[in-house]
Structure 1
Amino acid sequence: MPPLDGAITGIRAGSPAFRRVSLALFAAGFATFSLLYHVQPLLPLLADTFRVAPAEAALALSLATGFLSVAMLLAGALADVYGRRPVMVASLTLSALLTLATAIVPSWHGLLAARALLGITLAGLPAVAMAYLGEEMDPGALDPAMGLYIAGSALGGMAGRLVMGVVVDFLPWQVATAGIGAAGLLAALAVWRYLPPSAGFTRRPARPRAMLSALLVPLGQGRLRLLFLQGFLLMGAFVTIYNYIGFRLLAPPFDLPQSLIGLIFAAYLLGMGSSAWVGRLVARHGRGPVMAAGVLIMAAGVALTATSLLPLVVAGIGLLTFGFFGAHSIASGWVGALAPVTGKAQASSLYLFSYYMGSSLVGAGGGVIWAAMGWTGLALVVGGLLCLSLLLIRILSRAG
């Protein structure tokens, strides 16, 4: 790998290049999550407006994440051919334009089609961003840089949800959606302007058979397979709670207005702090113990959401968010550290395939559980997923 900023092994923390990378990918993470998740606080409103059940309303999110997860399997291969930065810029630009288009789509099925297409176009950003960091950063800078990228994701997820959740009580949701799309275009400009060109990889010609073989390489490592499953469990548990908490808070005994429910997404600020903080904890205690602590914090948060006291429910959402972003940041960095040099983009694609498939499948299936078993049943199922996550961490730690 050629020297960057005077470093032998990559971009070092605190260097000018590190600051440029951090700014660009913080903006990219912000845009990715706001473009993807700004519909989440709208789910009760969509269910009421289009007269669909909660599980069907959740398709506005689940279709996007489902198509995103599949498209990401190809995103790494495209980035190998066309380069990391061009794919990331194109991904953000097209996704922002599609979000602007959803502001004028009049029908439910048209909205779902636009969201599905957004899942495809957005795929070029998350997997490639992780691969870029894995290739370009000095090993000592990888976890802090990944934490800042995840922090941008947390802020974007919060801003998209918070803006939509509050503004729709005062303005049409289409206006807020257009604002989210415009922010995505600005983020694409930031990535184009500030992200240094890749220096840690060589472009490869488009050979479908070679692309498939490269995608299978990370699956040959047992620890990477466990991390892929970990992404499925973490994201599935997290999104399921957020998808349906709005329905619960709209109903008795809470009976909250939509604008107050939207404010609960301010908990994403805790996610930002968590993801930026865990990099330092990992350096002292190791990935396994810190990740297990994050999952236990998530489980405590889920338990609190099952109470009937609003302050405890809000505290539970905060704990869930803090624990999730810390655990996800560690898992993402762990994938980058374990992936083979020639398969970092593919390993990132497979991790995020599992991650977003958890959002799509578990997130949509949670609506069926919510309808049949209520919030207690939903919390118990999510708790079971987190117990399995803890078991995987134990296995990962034992494997060295």
Structure 2
Amino acid sequence: MDDYIKKGTMDFRKANLALFAGAFSTFANLYMTQPVLPTLSKVFHISPTTASLSLSLTTASLAISMLIIGSLSEAWGRKSIMTFSMIAVAILTLLIAFAPNYHMLLILRIIQGIVFAGLPAIAMAYLGEEIDPASLGAAMGLYISGNSIGGLAGRIIMGTVSDFFNWRIGMMTIGIISLLVAIAFYFLLPSSKHFTPEKLAFKPLFKSLLMHLKDPALLSLFGMGFLLMGSFVTMYNYIGFQLLEPPYSLSQTIVGWIFLIYLVGTFSSAWMGGLADHHGRYKILLSGIGLMIGGALLSLVGILFIKILGIAIFTFGFFGGHAIASGWVGRRATHDKAQASSLYLFFYYVGSSIGGTTGGIFWSNFGWIGVISIILIFLLIAVILTSIIHKITSKNVLTQA
């Protein structure tokens, strides 16, 4: 149809800038506690495992609420829910900065996890509905690149500001920036033209969720999200602990700036998304997983430079793979695309929670080689799922691999 948003138009630029900003805000706030886990452990006199709950509980509540919010957006619309989500997230971050104790911090982070759900799945559905299919891979890649920039900014701001001032000032800084970004988002994002509201009835919504789960290709893509994110969070949750210890003994600020590696994800998500449009999703997704495996193995080398290079290659592969898999969900789903996206992200964030926790057990018992072992297991299963998806979708001309 002629009214789809096409690459090269002003609406395309505005939509991508708005959703890039939305992804930036979401991921800056979501992962802001990750670089200061050791600080939270000292300040509140808690164990590293308990400190990690500030991230795990947030991603868990996000995963669960994603299913509900995605379904509500089918009736209430896309832009209004996304805007509310961004404003509420910013306000909650400012409240967390003043949390009097760790219990209150966790409660606010759980609420924040619920509110986070208002953007990711709906943003993917918006892109699937409004962007011209020929430009969808590039648009999804640009949106995913906002994830990497946001994750990078949140970690660097928290790591650096915490070192110079304290973690509370760091959170206040992120909260104020997020509030400004939310206002820009509202004015930039074009209104939906292809969204048709449905009557809010939970029985049909539940029925359609089950229909998505009965599609083996979609189910495999959901599993892909679980495995890719589980691997990624495991890597980044525990690399900081290793680099703070001998023989590296790096400072908190330097460890925080190592997250500059995220910049390779900004490039790879857009670049590999574009490659997938031209060369097929199967080959490029498999290449992304291969890069993750190679990078994980390189990180076992004791030399710091090679270890960081391995993490960079791993990150490059992850963001590219995630951009392709998430975009593939939107193309595969034939109905209720926001629900399909919600299910993908449900598995994605459950992977974050389970992978991060499981990685901690392996870290405590086997060190860094244990962390890499669980990551490699996840990624080898991901290779199998990629082959299954390819076999199914290659029979369907609407979802060419």
Asked if structure 1 preserves the Cα contact closer than 8 Å seen for 2:74 and 2:336, the reply is no
CA distance in 2, matches of 1:358, 1:387: 15
Asked if structure 1 preserves the Cα contact closer than 8 Å seen for 2:141 and 2:271, the reply is yes
SS at match of 1:264: helix
Task: Pick one of 15, 35, 40 that aligns with 1:41.
Answer: 35
Q: CA offsets, 1:279-304, max 9 Å, x none?
A: 22113321111111111111111112
Q: CA deviation at 1:174?
A: 0.8
CA distance in 1, matches of 2:247, 2:76: 54
- Who is 1:357 aligned against? 350
- Supply the AA of the counterpart residue of 1:349: S
- Supply the AA of the counterpart residue of 2:362: I
Asked if structure 2 preserves the Cα contact closer than 8 Å seen for 1:219 and 1:225, the reply is yes
Q: CA offsets, 1:244-286, max 9 Å, x none?
A: 1111111111111101101110001000000110122113321
Asked if structure 1 preserves the Cα contact closer than 8 Å seen for 2:40 and 2:51, the reply is yes
- Supply the AA of the counterpart residue of 2:384: L
- Supply the AA of the counterpart residue of 1:124: G
Say whether residues 1:210 and 2:210 are aligned partners: no
- Who is 1:389 aligned against? 382
Asked if structure 2 preserves the Cα contact closer than 8 Å seen for 1:24 and 1:190, the reply is yes
TM-score if structure 1 supplies the norm length? 0.96
- Supply the AA of the counterpart residue of 2:359: G
- Supply the AA of the counterpart residue of 1:83: G
Asked if structure 2 preserves the Cα contact closer than 8 Å seen for 1:55 and 1:365, the reply is no
CA distance in 2, matches of 1:80, 1:182: 30
Asked if structure 2 preserves the Cα contact closer than 8 Å seen for 1:47 and 1:53, the reply is yes
Task: Pick one of 252, 256, 262 that aligns with 2:250.
Answer: 256
Task: Pick one of 373, 387, 391 that aligns with 1:380.
Answer: 373
CA distance in 2, matches of 1:365, 1:387: 17
- Supply the AA of the counterpart residue of 2:340: A
Q: CA deviation at 1:226?
A: 0.2
CA distance in 1, matches of 2:104, 2:70: 29
- Supply the AA of the counterpart residue of 1:365: T
Asked if structure 2 preserves the Cα contact closer than 8 Å seen for 1:66 and 1:356, the reply is yes
Asked if structure 2 preserves the Cα contact closer than 8 Å seen for 1:59 and 1:364, the reply is no
CA distance in 2, matches of 1:56, 1:306: 27
- Supply the AA of the counterpart residue of 2:144: I
Q: CA deviation at 1:216?
A: 2.1
- Supply the AA of the counterpart residue of 1:358: G
Task: Pick one of 365, 370, 381 that aligns with 2:363.
Answer: 370
- Supply the AA of the counterpart residue of 2:23: G
Asked if structure 2 preserves the Cα contact closer than 8 Å seen for 1:62 and 1:359, the reply is yes
SS at match of 2:191: coil
Say whether residues 1:193 and 2:219 are aligned partners: no
- Who is 1:50 aligned against? 44
CA distance in 2, matches of 1:262, 1:351: 29
- Who is 1:153 aligned against? 147
- Bigger mean CA deviation after superposition, 344-353 or 188-197: 188-197
Change (3 A) 1:183 1:217: farther
Say whether residues 1:102 and 2:96 are aligned partners: yes
* CA-based RMSD: 1.1
Task: Pick one of 171, 176, 180 that aligns with 2:170.
Answer: 176
Asked if structure 2 preserves the Cα contact closer than 8 Å seen for 1:76 and 1:124, the reply is yes
- Supply the AA of the counterpart residue of 2:183: L
TM-score if structure 2 supplies the norm length? 0.96
Q: CA deviation at 1:163?
A: 1.3
CA distance in 2, matches of 1:326, 1:12: 22
SS at match of 1:67: helix
Q: CA deviation at 1:42?
A: 0.8
Q: CA deviation at 1:48?
A: 2.5
Asked if structure 2 preserves the Cα contact closer than 8 Å seen for 1:26 and 1:148, the reply is yes
Asked if structure 1 preserves the Cα contact closer than 8 Å seen for 2:159 and 2:252, the reply is yes
Q: CA deviation at 1:27?
A: 0.3
- Who is 1:7 aligned against? none
CA distance in 2, matches of 1:269, 1:81: 36
- Supply the AA of the counterpart residue of 2:18: A
SS at match of 2:163: coil
Asked if structure 1 preserves the Cα contact closer than 8 Å seen for 2:65 and 2:114, the reply is yes
CA distance in 1, matches of 2:47, 2:291: 31
Say whether residues 1:65 and 2:59 are aligned partners: yes
Give the 5 Å matches for 1:1-400.
3-4=2-3, 10-340=4-334, 342-399=335-392, 400=394
SS at match of 1:63: helix
- Supply the AA of the counterpart residue of 2:230: G
For structure 1, list consecutive stretches of 5 or more residues without a partner in the other structure: 5-9
SS at match of 1:168: helix
SS at match of 1:169: helix
For structure 2, list consecutive stretches of 5 or more residues without a partner in the other structure: 395-401
Q: CA deviation at 1:187?
A: 2.1
Q: CA deviation at 1:175?
A: 0.9
| Number of equivalences | 393
- Who is 2:398 aligned against? none
Asked if structure 2 preserves the Cα contact closer than 8 Å seen for 1:146 and 1:333, the reply is yes
